[in-house]
A and B are shown apart, each in its own frame.
Chain A
Amino acid sequence: MMVDRLDAPIEHLLRELAPQVLSPVVRRFRDFGAAEDAVQEALIAAAAQWPRDGVPANPRGWLIQVASRRMADHIRSEIARRRREEAAAEEAERLALPVEEATESGEDDMLVLLFMCCHPALTPASAIALTLRAVGGLTTAEIANAFLVPEATMAQRISRAKQSIKESGVPFHLPTAEDRAQRLRAVLHVLYLIFNEGYVSSAGPQLRRADLSDEAIRLARIVYSRQPEDTEVAGLLALMLLTDARRAARTGPNGELIPLAQQNRALWDRQQIAEGIALLSTALPKGSVGPYQLQAAIAAVHDEAARNEDTDWPQILALYELLQRMSDNPMIVLNHAIAVAMVHGPEKGLELLRALDSDPRLAKGHRLEAVRAHLLERAGDHEAAILHYRNAAIHATSLPERNYLMLQAAKLSEMRSTDS
């Protein structure tokens, strides 16, 4: 089912249309899971036919019609299966209705879909997969490829996610006003995870990962266009843009990791940085400052430094201090320690790290050790730094990280032997 070398404009159009086609089909047939499958089939059909026969005059109408026909087939076979059941009669009646193009519901279908796909009943992995397919319009094969699992496994994950939604009995409309803010946070978190999944993976050409960061940015733009007044939505979009701007500089030619301090800043995307900063400058004065805005502000301070040594660390430290009051995420605590080290010297940072040794969320991970090694190196204690770099390498969860940590240890080790 993998569609190769699809025209970029058609692919773009299909991805744009996917959620706009799904919502009327769900509204009409009321079965989210089956409707989502039907839309996926319609998208695949379009991807095969449009490059050959041309894009129809009304592409959205075409897709809704094809998906509705698939739904009708699906229901017919369901009816055949349950012929003796009386419930079938009602559905047969619904089938006789003409295919209308879109049911104007007055609700924002895009948000309804996102709330559905990022439902709190789902595990993050399921919510991510479902969001990418139902709202992002990616095929199962593309999502499987992005997460390096077989297509059948991803298909199963998506179908289980839809089953959980069905069992949770959530109706297909916007949650109540009270629920909405909380559900929007869940949506933002899923988009953040999608972005991160794309951003932190070193994209070797052989991996052909779908561009998850771009997709997350596209989806965040959609949410922002619906909720421009929500400052955290703007904050998340700004954070993505300001982080993604460094993408070209963060890995070397062989996919090796290049830390922020050593990146070639000429490779940073100035336009994206400007857009992120503009978004943030509009959001921050509105007064309801949340974690995404603060993280975006930190990214902006880094992005604004022309050289690494120009980085305004006192400002970054102040922002991390605010951030720590809102979130006890251990990664934030670690980054705070780095900022402390940059402002008050590595000893102060190391002192903070010692307090983290008992944190079970960090105890087994490699990041605490990596940061400790980094600060020890800054403090000039190369012997201890080597030890902790190696220790971090043992616990590393990815090959580029392990390579980086081992190289750091080797570099210090060689420096030491040439010194003596």
Chain B
Amino acid sequence: MKFILMMNARKADWDEYAKWSKEDLQRNVAFMRAFSKELKDSGVFVATEALGWPSEAKIVRAGSNGEPITDGVFPESKEFLAGYWIVDAESPEEAYKIAARVSAGPGRGGESGNMPIEVRPVLGSHADLGL
């Protein structure tokens, strides 16, 4: 079963992240690298990506001729995806354990960041309702 682990952050969190110390950043980067390697070594890794800064995001809609109309104004409270991992786990519980490990990754001052990680099943291609 595949699951996506999404790390979301509010704009305020992103603003704070921009001010992290060198030490905090290095510790966090080292943790993320080690975490990805762990996923790969344990044979559950499917994919991971980090996303650009929220200020780089645009909301796009099709105009009347199908041309893109972009909009870049977002409410302060909105959460932005910072990055995600897709894992192939034996059970939802295993996926939750993996999510808890990344949630406990070091934040500012080396304390556990305790970031909320949204875990959702990735829909497969299986088709069998037994009907």
Residues of A within 8 A of B45 (CB): 149-150, 152-153, 156
Complex CA–CA separation, A209 to B1 (angstroms) = 17
Contact with B along A353-375 (1 / 0, CB 8 A): 00000000000000100110010
What residues on B are CB-neighbors of A156 within 8 Å? 40-43, 45
Partner of B124, one of A123, A255, A260, A399: A399
> What secondary structure prevails in chain A residues at the interface with B?
helix
Distance of B89 from chain A, by nearest CB (Å): 10
Q: A147 → chain B, closest Cβ, in Å?
A: 7
Q: Select which of A150, A202, A203, A257 is within 8 A of B129 by beta carbon.
A: A257
A154 to B44, CA, bound (A): 8
How far, in whole Å, are A251 and B129 apart by their CA atoms in the complex? 13
Kindly identify which residue among B40, B121, B130 contacts A397, using a CB–CB cutoff of 8 Å: B121
Say whether, besides A152-B40, A153-B44, A398 and B127 are in contact (CB < 8 Å): yes
For the complex, is A396 an interface residue (Cβ under 8 Å from B)?
yes
Q: Would you call B90 and A125 a contact (CB within 8 A)?
A: yes
Least CB separation from B45: chain A residue: A153
**Shortest Cβ distance from B86 into A: residue:** A149
Residue A400 lies at the interface, judged by CB distance under 8 Å to chain B: yes
B62 within 8 A of A: no
- Interface pair B46/A398, CB less than 8 Å apart: no
Q: Which chain A residues border B88 with CB–CB below 8 Å?
A: 125, 147, 149, 153
Q: Are A334 and B130 in contact (CB under 8 A)?
A: yes
* B77-115 to A contact mask, C-beta < 8 Å, 1/0: 000000000001010000000000000000000000000
Number of B residues with CB within 8 Å of any CB on chain A: 22
Query: For residue A200, which residue of chain B has the nearest CB?
Result: B128
- In the bound complex, CA of A334 to CA of B128 (Å): 13
Contact of B127 among A148, A150, A401 (CB under 8 A): A401
Q: Is A348 an interface residue (CB 8 A)?
A: no
On chain A, the residues within 8 Å of B123 by CB distance are 396-399, 402
Closest to A260 in B: B131
Is A261 positioned at the interface, with any CB of B under 8 Å from its CB? Answer: yes
CB of B126 within 8 Å of the partner chain? yes
B130 CB to closest chain A CB, in angstroms?
6
For residue A207, CB closer than 8 A to chain B, the reply is yes
In the complex, the answer to whether A201 meets B130 with C-beta atoms within 8 Å is no
Give the most central of B1, B42, B43: most A CB within 10 Å. Answer: B43
Set of chain B residues within 8 Å of A255, measured between Cβ atoms = 125, 127
Give chain A interface residues in 219-257, CB to chain B under 8 Å.
Answer: 250-251, 255, 257
- Which residues of A are found within 8 Å of B129, using beta-carbon distances? 257, 259, 367, 370-371, 401, 404-405
Beta-carbon contact of B40 and A201 below 8 Å: no
The listed residue (B1, B42, B130) touching A335 by CB distance below 8 A is B130
Q: Inside 8 A of A370's CB, which chain B residues have their CB?
A: 129, 131
Task: Say whether A201 contacts B46, CB under 8 Å.
Answer: no
B131: chain A residues within 8 A (beta carbon): 259-261, 338, 370-371, 374
Contact of B125 among A152, A160, A371, A400 (CB under 8 A): A400
- On chain B, the residues within 8 Å of A251 by CB distance are 127
Residue numbers in A under 8 Å from B124 (CB-CB): 201, 397-399
B126 touches A398 (CB 8 A): yes
In the assembled complex, 13 residue pairs joining A and B whose CB atoms fall closer than 8 Å, in A order, are A148-B125, A149-B46, A152-B40, A153-B45, A153-B46, A156-B45, A201-B127, A259-B129, A259-B131, A371-B131, A397-B1, A397-B124, A398-B124
Known pairs A148-B2, A200-B127 / 14 extra A-B pairs, C-beta < 8 Å: A123-B90, A147-B88, A150-B46, A153-B44, A153-B45, A201-B125, A202-B125, A204-B125, A207-B125, A257-B127, A259-B131, A371-B130, A401-B128, A401-B129
Q: Using a CB–CB distance below 8 Å, which chain A residues touch chain B? A: 123, 125-126, 147-150, 152-154, 156-157, 160, 196, 199-204, 207, 250-251, 255, 257, 259-261, 331, 334-335, 338, 367, 370-371, 374, 396-402, 404-405
7 nearest interchain CB pairs? A157-B43, A400-B127, A200-B128, A259-B131, A156-B43, A398-B126, A398-B124
